[in-house]
Structure 1
Amino acid sequence: MSDLFLDEVIRPEPQGGGGRRASRRGGREDRERERRRRRRRGVIALVVSFALLIGGGFAVWKLVGPMIDDFRDSRSQPEAEDFAGPGHGSVDVTIESGATGGQMGQVLAEAGVVASQTAFTRAFAANPDAAGIQPGTYRLMLGMPAAEAVGALLDTSNRVQTRVTIPEGLRVTQILDRLSSVTTVPVEEFQTAMADTAATGLPAEAGGNYEGWLFASTYSFEPGTTPTEMIAAMVAETVKVLDERGVAPQDRQRVLTIASLVEREARSAEDKAKVARAIQNRLDIDMKLDIDAAVAYGLNKPGTELTRDDTANSDTPYNLYRYAGLPPTPIASPSLIAIDAVLAPADGPWLFWVTVNLDTGETRFAETFAEHQQNIALLRQWEAEQG
């Protein structure tokens, strides 16, 4: 039994080269295994390459596909509907800030100005100036050719705006009357709006009083602008002017108050700078300002109707014949020239000034009271010559 088992477990190597055959067989198996590994690597590389090719192609298609579709669509779409013109009637349309050509075209097409959004978009793209179209409300004709609609939006004369000019030297009540007459908004609505000083942006240093803070200028208001927005625009302009000149918030009210006096007392820029200096010279020595315009403001009457009794006996804080220092508020909206005159007054020793010709506004300045009396005599002579 032991020999039998030994015979099956340990076989003697056959004679005649059996070892070389085993070696060749092992080599073939090794080469076969290597071929199988190479095939596997080749298949993996092919799969990876194919995946990259598919992925890259997808990315390219994502980029180029829409352009191809647009080109295909533009070739297949019929000519965009457009009006032949010349147009008729009118309609107001509003172009919002930041609107694209397509968005403008949609608004105009819905309003009946152009025949189609596509026609306007193409006309917009064909006009190199179209990017300059400003937001706002425009009055345009109905049934316009798209190219003409683009041109109409570039013409600022088609803007629907309310332009209000506020002259220098007006008081708040006069400004509100002017605003109301031009915008047709009742004065009461402006007064209601002004009660909310936070909404209008009136600075705290104004003490709730708008006098002097409604800047004299020309304003353009779009349709639908509220009374609050109009007042806020005027206050903001005053703040802007003062900030540009470096006026500190705590000095704003004083600058506006002196500038309002200067505005009402002199006409030319040169005279305004001299009056500003004379006022400051008086303030420096606690001398009363004796300004008629302030007395008239306190009495709510025109300066031309002011009497000597008014200046001598009226008891309001604006009677600068009775009280030294500045009035409690500005008395009017000063001009930019008057503000600059206060910030950079002329050099001079003057304490007195008087307008000796009310037609031309000629003003004489004096350092002494005696010289001032001579100038007043010139005024009396002019008045006598007027009959």
Structure 2
Amino acid sequence: MAAEGGRRRGLGLLFVVSALLAGAAAVWLYDRYTGFADAPLQGIEQGQTLRVERGDSFVRVLGRLREAGIDAGHELEWRLLARQLGADARIQVGEYALDPATTPRRLLEQMRDGQVVSYRFTIVEGWNIRELRAALAKAMPLEQTLGAMDDAALMAALDRPGVHPEGRFLPETYAYTRGDTDLDLLRRANRALEQALQGAWESRAHDLPLEDADQALVLASIIEKETGIASERAQIGGVFTRRLRAGMRLQTDPTVIYGMGSTYDGNIRRADLLADTPYNTYTRDGLPPTPIAMAGVEAIRAATNPADGDALYFVAVGDGSGRHVFSRTLDEHNAAVREYVRRYRERFSPQ
């Protein structure tokens, strides 16, 4: 009986020791697991990114980390953590930012939620289509697909066949991700322009001397090129609206410059004002045939809701501020022009 009792005590002790060892092992494994999940990955350099491509397996993603010189640890730990976070079957394609503080938990959460790296491209108010295409060609990592595609082919690719591309893209900052193309971005900018233009046209002032929204866009592009002063846009819109209503020619230099194309060298001469082109508003009545630049939302609003008033002329102040003097009569305007010339000579004549 005593021997049997001893065996029972021995088995009990063995069970206790085994349980303690199992508990200690579980604690050790848990500490190791949590230490792995929340410890910064080793080997990451500032500015590094991780790309997950379509068809990549979980093992391939870990392989990309190791190829980048990052200590990715053991696959089992990654799989356990991914399952805990619900990321094991939800890793999304894209480019992910890495920094020296990135942990496995944070990286898996990023890939699960599709928190990809975002880049930005700004279409500047007043750009023409040549300037826009040149800037797009330098935007990285935007995929370049336009290449030698001419403007007609470009607009056809945007489902806008036969439409002139000038002015058809809204000046704004657009976010994009690696894998997006230049055509993707232009498609978004074109849609944004059409929405802004349609909204402005629907809320336009009554009795505008404009036939449709496209003419409003043409006028908006001229306003955009005439001033960089936001508070003046509606005033200039008012001047042009009154001139159109009265049958006066617009006589605006930016349209002449646009019509000159690559021959423009920074100066407009009297001969240029007299040289007839479809865009010369000194020689032709009404609006030019297309916009001359990318017009922003405020310029579009100025074209569709111009300011009231009786001014028919304006000229730069001449002090370098970009501001203008508005005049009701030609005599007042001529006096303002003489003052502009005087101030200009004072600013640039040799001392």
TM over 0.5: yes
Show the counterpart of 1:92.
Answer: 50
What is the distance in 1 between the residues matched to 2:92 and 2:324?
A: 46
1:318–1:149 CA distance, 2 compared to 1 (3 A): same
- C-alpha RMSD of matched pairs (Å): 3.7
Structure 1 residue 286 displacement after superposition: 1.4
Which of 251, 254, 262 matches 2:215?
254
Answer yes or no: is the 8 Å Cα contact 1:93–1:139 preserved in 2. no
AA aligned opposite 1:169: G
Answer yes or no: is the 8 Å Cα contact 1:365–1:372 preserved in 2. yes
1:333-366 C-alpha deviation (Å, 9 max, x unpaired):
0111101111111001111111122610120111
Higher relative contact order (CA 8 A, sep 6+): 2
AA aligned opposite 2:272: D
Show the counterpart of 2:81.
Answer: 119
1:319–1:258 CA distance, 2 compared to 1 (3 A): same
2:205 is equivalent to residue 234 of structure 1? no
Show the counterpart of 2:8.
Answer: none
1:360–1:142 CA distance, 2 compared to 1 (3 A): closer
1:221-280 C-alpha deviation (Å, 9 max, x unpaired):
2112223212212211111212333549x8232111000000111222221101111111
For structure 2, which runs of at least 5 residues remain unmatched after alignment?
A: 1-25, 66-71, 204-210
AA aligned opposite 2:95: T
1:316–1:93 CA distance, 2 compared to 1 (3 A): same
Residue 365 of structure 1 aligns to a residue whose secondary structure is: strand
Which of 197, 208, 216 matches 2:163?
208
Show the counterpart of 2:128.
Answer: 171
For structure 1, which runs of at least 5 residues remain unmatched after alignment?
A: 1-74, 97-102, 126-130
What is the distance in 2 between the residues matched to 1:303 and 1:278?
A: 28
Which of 135, 148, 151 matches 2:106?
148
What is the distance in 2 between the residues matched to 1:293 and 1:358?
A: 20
1:132-171 C-alpha deviation (Å, 9 max, x unpaired):
x998531336996432325666999x84333221210011
TM-score, normalised to structure 2, is 0.71
Answer yes or no: is the 8 Å Cα contact 1:311–1:321 preserved in 2. yes
Structure 1 residue 178 displacement after superposition: 1.1
AA aligned opposite 2:81: A
Alignment of 1:211-360 (within 5 A): 211-247=166-202, 251-300=212-261, 301-302=263-264, 304-312=266-274, 314-357=275-318, 359-360=320-321
Which has the larger share of helix? 1
1:231–1:87 CA distance, 2 compared to 1 (3 A): same
Residue 279 of structure 2 aligns to a residue whose secondary structure is: coil
TM-score, normalised to structure 1, is 0.65
1:374–1:166 CA distance, 2 compared to 1 (3 A): same
1:55-108 C-alpha deviation (Å, 9 max, x unpaired):
xxxxxxxxxxxxxxxxxxxx9xx8696565433244423499xxxxxx997885
AA aligned opposite 2:260: L
Q: How many residues align?
A: 293
